[in-house]
Structure 1
Amino acid sequence: MSLRKKWISGPAFATFKKVLPPLSATEREAMEAGSVWWDGELFSGRPDWSVLLSYGPSRLSEREQSFLDNEVETLLAMLDEHRIVSEERELPEPVWDYLRHHGFFSLIIPKSYGGLDFSAFANSTIVGRIASRSISAAVTVMVPNSLGPGELLMHYGTEAQKQRWLPGLANGAEIPCFALTGPEAGSDAGSIPDSGVVCRGEFEGEQVLGLRLNWDKRYITLAPRATVLGLAFKLYDPEGLLGDSEELGITCALIPTSHPGVHTGERHFPMGQAFLNGTTRGKDVFIPLDWIIGGPDYAGRGWRMLVECLSAGRGISLPALGTACGHLATRSTSAYAVVRKQFGLSIGRFEGVQEALARIGGLTYQLEAARRLTTRALDMDESPAIVTAISKYHMTEMARTVINDAMDVHAGKAIQLGPKNYLAHNYMSIPIAITVEGANILTRNLMIFGQGASRCHPYVLKELEAAANPDEQAGLEAFDRLLFRHARFAAGNALGALWQGLTGARFNGAPVSGETAQYFRQLARMSRALALCADVSMLTLGGDLKRREMLSARLGDVLSHLYLGSATLKFFEDNGRPEKELPFVHYALARNLHAMGEALTGFLQNFPNRALALTLKALIFPLGNRYRPPADRYATAICRRLMTPGGVRDRLSALCYLPPASEPGLGEVEAAFVAMVRVMDIEKKVLKAQKDGLLPRKLALTELLQQARRQNLLTDTEAQQLREADELRRRAIAVDEFAVGELSRQQSRKRADVA
């Protein structure tokens, strides 16, 4: 053992300490915050599929289902997003009152404080369903139930703070916001310049120990209306009033917005959306020490608090908005593809449209799968920071894809704003979802693999801790034990990657039989490849890997698609393996595997050590990268199912609110879709008669039906059904028109309101 330490472990230990960068305090807190969940299995190179399938499906309780069926449905009927966005510019007061009085701001607050205490899955489902109707209302509900005073209080607040604030937050008497982002600190929240200094000051007529704060924050949702402000700042103690350290670190406090010196009210106008978003500032604001969340003992512990709470909230709200976009796009585009005609045919018959519609269906299936798996983790009291980062990044990006495809299929109908347009506001909201809670570029390039490589790897974080041990001998002892386990791990992954590459992973185990077994095997193969590439990258690039963002982001893409693919397989299993869903599974998994193959190919092409790159390529792809995009036959099968009422179509649009047919917009299109499907057989009679030369090919419908009746090609009932269906169709494809001067009068009223 001593010889091993002298000649192997010792030199390796010294090299390791030089190559790998030291962890800063904020990096250590970020890595240690939360938990490692299924992402750890995926990073291991040997995922245990029985663990994944043992998690069980996400389900709503009777109380949660009742809330969705009653309170949520009542709210949805109250909402008119066109009027809210184009005329009111914020939620009407009756909507605010309804949200407050029916617990929409208390989804996560325990019953003992007056809250609903719903599951993460219920929270996600409620936000998603509202988002299909009104982004403005969804964001308003989302924020108090995500990162903010309520969540921070529940996890870290003193009992006195909980009793003071949680009942008011639960019943809507208090409206919260949380101020983190400022002009100089967005995704890099650790660099906030806002400050607090421990000092003595006057509060309620007495001299007390407290903090003097200065801050300038922006992009703070609900700030213009908030009654309580959660504030993140850096805390300093130059006089040593709390201890020996002068710089205590990031701290979080709760401050009533009515407190002297607190300034709120101004609004931003994000992408023309109507939810309240604005600024807050304060100069020399004195607060007592016990306004720190958690009390004085939590001074300087705010970064850990924020990272842990953000990782949970990031997995609920924005993925719910992304999934809602998928459900809305699926419902509306599948209907419109049948209703809208060109060259005498429904546009859904054209393969170009089918390609877009299949992408909408395939991605929506995966969005719903990932939403359910991620919220399942949170409902198991896990807080997996990497999983929620994957969900936030990829689910908002997938939403961008599906809403773009929906806009393309709807074409002119999608670009005319008005009550009939059910896509535009979701389309305009996508850049907001992609920007907030960590801009997507930074999430992909810095967080998913950057933190995941150390957090999820079975040995690296422990090796870093050994290297950082001030006791050199103890650190070497721990490193020696870890090093040889790590070496066996790496060698096993290298040999396993080669064997699976040569055999096409045919001999990998799978927990199921049938058509989906191949995907379990291929995902296990890619898990091996990821583990191997991660080890080689960290060993050879060390600290430079942080700066080689394009390389690390590609490995992050592999981890992400492993997660999305496994979520999809679990969703299919949880649903009872229905045959009608198989095309969606094939489409989604083929897309995931192709994306992983492309990511690894890009990684190998750009890896700086060319000899190692060629070696890795020979191990991972000894017969070449054979992963291909989804086959056309899956796209065609998806479109057939989506353009048929009921079944899979209903399950993949369950979050989508369906207004009555009398209401302009989606209700009209759905009614026309149902009617057009009902008369398809009658239309076929007409088309056959035209093909046989019995009826003219190009003739107005009224005259065409008259000729068909005269020749007894149709019955009176059939002709009437066609007329009624066509009337609904024409109403559905119509766009909004405004009277001369109406829009300019609206603008004048808005300018007057602003003034």
Structure 2
Amino acid sequence: MGQRHGVNLKYITRIPAGPQGSVPGPDTGGNKDTGGNTDTGGNVAKMSDTLSRLDMLDLDSELDSESRMMRDTVRKFADDRLRPHIRDWFEDGTLPARELAQEFGKLGVLGMHLKGYGCQGATASQYALVCAEVEAVDSGLRSLVSVQGSLAMYAIWAYGSEEQKQRWLPGMAAGELIGCFGLTEPDSGSDPGSMTTRATRDGDDWILHGSKMWITNGSLADVAVVWARTDEGIRGFLVEKGMPGYTTTDVHHKISLRASVTSALSFDEVRLPAESQLPLAKGLKGPLGCLTEARFGIISGVTGAARDALESTIDYANSRTQFGRPISGFQLTQRKLAEMGVALNQAQLTARRLGELKDAGRITPAQISFGKFANVRAALEICREARSILGGSGITTEYPVLRHAVNLETVYTYEGTHEVHTLVLGQALTGQDAFR
């Protein structure tokens, strides 16, 4: 098997397995019997009974063989390469991001939904499946993939010149180059139009001054897509690592997304050549278009985190005995699990439908807001309820549920806060703009 529409299927026989058993306790890759119904020469294990039961609406049967193979390949990579180490990465607040970017690049998932320039041209629905499998391990890992592909790469792919695309996209698709997306500022988040970072003309060059905050992959990035105010309106620029006046500082002491690099960017009279400007990005439509692209991956990704939390919780409830029987047999526990299972499948249905709309070229920003509003909320509630079933065990990193929950607290806010998406949906329903 070769590389087909987004994921290098041979890669499952070539990925470095990493030291096994390095993460003790229940939250390890070694005890996950995952995979699917696809025969890959013994490389994909049979789907676990619990994971199979979670598919209450039999959505798996609707996947074509190629999409199922793609999903199972990424699931195996996640279980073999990522899951054994995620607890340590989260607890230590570290991530071998460059190493992982190259492995994701070999797998073919970076910018996989884009066409040309080393990208695979996969469908949006296939990309959504990949996001769910990566986020089933950790939201920080999905952020690495989606910021690279759906923000940094997409901005260049959609708004860049041919020269910019040729220079950056092949290396970024391979994971050899890392990008970041600089929109949010210390005093400008939900209102990007109030940004103060500014670029002014100096002959043919631009002089960039200002700062950005909460930037995923910021200190790692070889190229930053930076949005700034100019006399011509909001414009996008490509700022290369090492340019005089451009510095980065990592954000420490995070409780959430600890397995992710978060940075502040500072621009002190950075001189940019004319060709650094993204020629097709004019006004806020540029950065907002990128955010719409990135939010799509979140809609499916969070279902992976919720699924992993629920799977772990059911396994725990079946093995935890109180009053002479497994706690999964108690009515109140089953009520919680039933509500969580229904919420998960509803979120997966939402993600599946939005994937169909995106593949058909008919998706709207309001529908993207619908998905992020509904699915992040559902995933967060599932993880919180899962913690209650695990009792004291749920507050440790021995189990993934609270790690998923604290990560989702950030996902609830980034790429448009829950409140902003509420107003987008309100406007779609009423025709009235309540933003101002």
Q: Deviations over 1:198-248 (max 9, x none)?
A: 221xxxxxxxx1211112111000101000000011112xxxxxxxxxxx2
Over aligned residue pairs, what C-alpha RMSD do you find? 2.2
Which of 122, 131, 142 is the equivalent residue of 1:138? 142
Q: Distance in 2 between matches of 1:307 and 1:108?
A: 18
Which of 71, 74, 87 is the equivalent residue of 2:92? 87
Query: How many angstroms does 1:286 deviate by?
Result: 1.5
Q: Does the 8 Å contact 2:354/2:363 carry over to 1?
A: no
Is 1:218 matched up with 2:213?
A: yes
Query: How many angstroms does 1:311 deviate by?
Result: 1.8
The letter for the 2-side match of 1:122 is: Q
Query: How many angstroms does 1:60 deviate by?
Result: 5.2
The letter for the 2-side match of 1:262 is: Y
1:276 is aligned to 261
Q: Distance in 2 between matches of 1:222 and 1:93?
A: 10
Closer/same/farther in 2, CA of residues 223 and 452 from structure 1, 3 Å limit: farther
Q: Does the 8 Å contact 1:264/1:280 carry over to 2?
A: yes
Query: How many angstroms does 1:92 deviate by?
Result: 6.6
Q: Distance in 2 between matches of 1:84 and 1:546?
A: 39
Q: Distance in 1 between matches of 2:326 and 2:72?
A: 34
2:292 is aligned to 311
Q: Does the 8 Å contact 1:192/1:234 carry over to 2?
A: yes
Q: Deviations over 1:174-218 (max 9, x none)?
A: 100000000110011111111111221xxxxxxxx1211112111
Closer/same/farther in 2, CA of residues 92 and 378 from structure 1, 3 Å limit: closer
Is 1:107 matched up with 2:112?
A: yes
Which of 121, 125, 130 is the equivalent residue of 1:121? 125
1:679-694 matched pairs, under 5 angstroms: none
Which of 134, 140, 152 is the equivalent residue of 1:149? 152
Q: Does the 8 Å contact 2:303/2:348 carry over to 1?
A: yes
The letter for the 2-side match of 1:306 is: P
The letter for the 2-side match of 1:259 is: M
Q: Give 3-state SS (helix, strand or coil) of 1:436's partner.
A: coil
Q: Give 3-state SS (helix, strand or coil) of 1:435's partner.
A: coil
Q: Deviations over 1:275-305 (max 9, x none)?
A: 111111101111122211126xx4xx14112
Which ranges in structure 1 are unaligned for 5 or more consecutive residues?
Answer: 1-56, 201-208, 237-247, 455-537, 548-755
Q: Does the 8 Å contact 2:136/2:308 carry over to 1?
A: yes
Is 1:448 matched up with 2:425?
A: yes
The letter for the 2-side match of 1:355 is: R
Query: How many angstroms does 1:441 deviate by?
Result: 1.9
1:341 is aligned to 321
Q: Does the 8 Å contact 2:101/2:175 carry over to 1?
A: no
Q: Give 3-state SS (helix, strand or coil) of 2:228's partner.
A: strand
The letter for the 2-side match of 1:447 is: V
Q: Distance in 1 between matches of 2:109 and 2:369?
A: 25
Q: Does the 8 Å contact 2:134/2:301 carry over to 1?
A: no
1:591 is aligned to none
Q: Distance in 1 between matches of 2:147 and 2:189?
A: 17
Q: Deviations over 1:603-622 (max 9, x none)?
A: xxxxxxxxxxxxxxxxxxxx
Q: Does the 8 Å contact 1:308/1:383 carry over to 2?
A: no
2:230 is aligned to 235
1:390 is aligned to 370
Which ranges in structure 2 are unaligned for 5 or more consecutive residues?
Answer: 1-60
1:254 is aligned to 238
Q: Give 3-state SS (helix, strand or coil) of 1:285's partner.
A: strand
1:180 is aligned to 183
Q: Distance in 2 between matches of 1:307 and 1:93?
A: 27
The letter for the 1-side match of 2:415 is: E
Is 1:358 matched up with 2:342?
A: no
Which of 401, 410, 413 is the equivalent residue of 1:432? 410
**Which has the higher Rg, Structure 1 or Structure 2?**
1
Query: How many angstroms does 1:72 deviate by?
Result: 4.8
Q: Give 3-state SS (helix, strand or coil) of 1:353's partner.
A: helix
Query: How many angstroms does 1:407 deviate by?
Result: 0.6
Q: Distance in 2 between matches of 1:288 and 1:452?
A: 45
Q: Distance in 2 between matches of 1:345 and 1:114?
A: 55
Closer/same/farther in 2, CA of residues 162 and 93 from structure 1, 3 Å limit: closer
Q: Distance in 1 between matches of 2:78 and 2:247?
A: 32
Q: Distance in 1 between matches of 2:99 and 2:163?
A: 32
Q: Distance in 1 between matches of 2:64 and 2:293?
A: 19
1:563 is aligned to none
Q: Deviations over 1:359-417 (max 9, x none)?
A: 10110110110010111111112341001011111211111111111111111111123
Closer/same/farther in 2, CA of residues 150 and 546 from structure 1, 3 Å limit: closer
Identical pairs, percent: 23
Q: Give 3-state SS (helix, strand or coil) of 1:270's partner.
A: coil
1:549-560 matched pairs, under 5 angstroms: none
Closer/same/farther in 2, CA of residues 151 and 92 from structure 1, 3 Å limit: closer
1:618-633 matched pairs, under 5 angstroms: none
Q: Does the 8 Å contact 1:251/1:302 carry over to 2?
A: yes
Query: How many angstroms does 1:135 deviate by?
Result: 3.0
Is 1:372 matched up with 2:349?
A: no
Closer/same/farther in 2, CA of residues 118 and 348 from structure 1, 3 Å limit: same
Is 1:321 matched up with 2:301?
A: yes
Closer/same/farther in 2, CA of residues 65 and 546 from structure 1, 3 Å limit: closer
Q: Does the 8 Å contact 1:103/1:172 carry over to 2?
A: no
Q: Does the 8 Å contact 1:232/1:302 carry over to 2?
A: no
Higher fraction of helix = 1
1:501 is aligned to none
